[in-house]
Amino acid sequence: MFKNFVNKLFGDHAFTNQLAKNRLQMVLIQDRSGLSSQEMDKFRNDLMKVIAIYFETNQANLDIQWERKDGSTALIINTPVMVRRKQIQAVAANQK
Amino acid sequence: MTAKVFVITSGKGGVGKTTTAANLGAALAVRNKKVLVIDADIGLRNLDVIMGLENRIVFNLVDAIKGVCKPQQAVIKSKKSNNLFLLPASQTDDKNVVTPEEMKELVNKYKAEYNFILIDCPAGIEQGFRNACAAADEAIVVTTPEVSAVRDADRVIGLLAASSLETRMMINRVDRDMVRRGDMLSPQDVIEILGIEQIGMIFRDNDVVISANAGDLVVYNTKSKAGKAFLQIADRICGMDVPIEDLDIGTSLWAKLGKKLRAA
Ligand SMILES: Nc1ncnc2c1ncn2[C@@H]1O[C@H](COP(=O)(O)OP(=O)(O)O)[C@@H](O)[C@H]1O
Ligand SMILES: [Mg+2]
C-alpha cells in the first residue's frame, strides 16, 4: 500500500547508483581479499564458529569488509554486541 | 628547478588518461609552469594527435633512450604555449624495448628543465604500466563513475600502494544530472569506496571531443566546463586550496526523500 503510494509520488525509479555501489562493494571484497564468493561464505561460517566459542550467537550477523585506507588494506568485521558465554572452555570442548 | 613527476594512469582503458595528461599539462603551462608531457604508450601513440603535434615529430622516446638522438632533440614545443612540451612515443616499437630503469634514467635527464613532468600511461598493469610508473613521484588515477572502471582503478591503487607512490583520484566524465537523478555514482561515492583522496572531477563535456577533433585542447576553450575543471586541478597541484564541488549536496530533495521512503 505505502510502497504503491511512494511509487505513484516519485515514479518507480530504481536509483541505479545504489545498485552500482552495492555491486562494486561486493566485487571489491573479492578482489581485495582474493577469496571467491564460495570461499568467502566458508570464511564467514568459520568465523561464526570461532565467535560462537566465546559468545551467544543466535542472531550473529557479520558484516565483513576489506577497507582501503592510506595505502593499506584493513579487514574489518562488524557485528552487533553479543553476550559472553558463561562457560567458554566447556563450549569450546563441545564444538569439537 | 627539479620537476615533480606525475604518472597519469587507470586500470581500464578509454577513461581519459591521455585527455588528462594533455589538458592538465596545458593547464599547468597556463599557470606559468614549464611542463613536459611524455607519451609512454609505446606502439599506440596518441598524445601527439590530441595535442595537434603529429606533423612535427622527428625523434621519439625510444630514440632518446637508445641514444639515436639527444634527449632534448626528441622534445617538441606545443603550438599555443612556450611552456608546454611533448615527448612523443614511438609508434613502431614494442612496449618491451624499454625497461623501467631506462625510463627512469631518461626522465631524470629532463628534470632540471621543467617544473612538472606528466607521464601518460598505457592501459593495463603490465610492462608499459611499470615503465610509466618507474620514474614517477606521484600518481593520478583516472576513472569514470562506472562499476567496471572503478573496480579496475582499485586494482591499480593496490599496485601503486605496494610501490609506495602517493596516489590521488581524478573522476572523469561525471554527468551532474545523472548523479542528481540517482543514475550515476557520485565522485563522493567513488572516493568513499576506493578510500583515497580526490584531486578533482571533470564533467562529461562535448567540448572535449570537439577540441580533440581539431587537435586543440579544451583548456583553451574558456567557456568549457571541462577546461575550467582542468585549470582547477592545476591550481590544486600548485598548492592552492580550491574546493571540489560536492554533487551530493546538489541532489534534489525530492530524489533524496523518494530514496528514504523506498528504503523504509
Ligand atoms: N570529460 C570528458 N567528456 C567527454 N568526453 C571525454 C571526456 N574525457 C575523455 N573523453 C573522450 O573519451 C575518449 C577516451 O579518452 P582518452 O583520453 O583517449 O582515454 P585513455 O587515454 O584513458 O584511453 C576520447 O574520445 C575522449 O575524447
Ligand atoms: Mg591513452
- In the block, residue with C-alpha cell 604518472: B7
Q: Which of the 8 DSSP states describes residue B251?
A: S
How far is the C-alpha of B117 from the C-alpha of B122, rounded, in Å?
Answer: 16
- Residue B249's pLDDT is 66
CATH number at residue B145: 3.40.50.300
Of residues B186, B193, B258, nearest to A24 (C-beta): B193
How far is the C-alpha of B218 from the C-alpha of B227, rounded, in Å?
Answer: 5
Task: Taking residues B165-171, report their average pLDDT.
Answer: 96
CB A28 to CB B262 under 8 A? no
Q: What is the pLDDT of residues A29-41, one digit of tens each?
A: 999 999 988 999 9
Classify B64 as helix, strand or coil. helix
Q: What is the pLDDT of residues B58-106, one digit of tens each?
A: 999 999 999 999 999 999 999 999 999 999 999 998 888 999 999 999 9
- As for how many domains chain B has, the answer is 1
- H helix intervals, A11-95: 16-33, 37-54, 88-95
Query: Which residue on chain B is closest to A16 by alpha carbon?
Result: B183
Which residues of chain A neighbour B150 with C-beta distances below 8 Å?
24
Instruction: Using the mean position of ligand 2's atoms as its centre, give its distance from the Cα of residue B118 in Å.
Output: 13
The torsion angles phi and psi of B7, rounded to 5 degrees, stand at: -100, 135
- Residue A61's pLDDT is 80
Distances (CA, A) of B79 to A38, B26, B56, B82: 57, 11, 10, 8
What is the Cα Rg of chain B in Å? 19
Q: Which residues pair with B35 in a beta bridge?
A: B84, B116
User: Distance, in angstroms, between B234 CA and closest chain A CA?
Assistant: 23
pTM: 0.88
Relative to the alpha carbon of B12, which ligand is closest?
A: 1
Q: What is the span of the domain harbouring residue B27?
A: 4-263
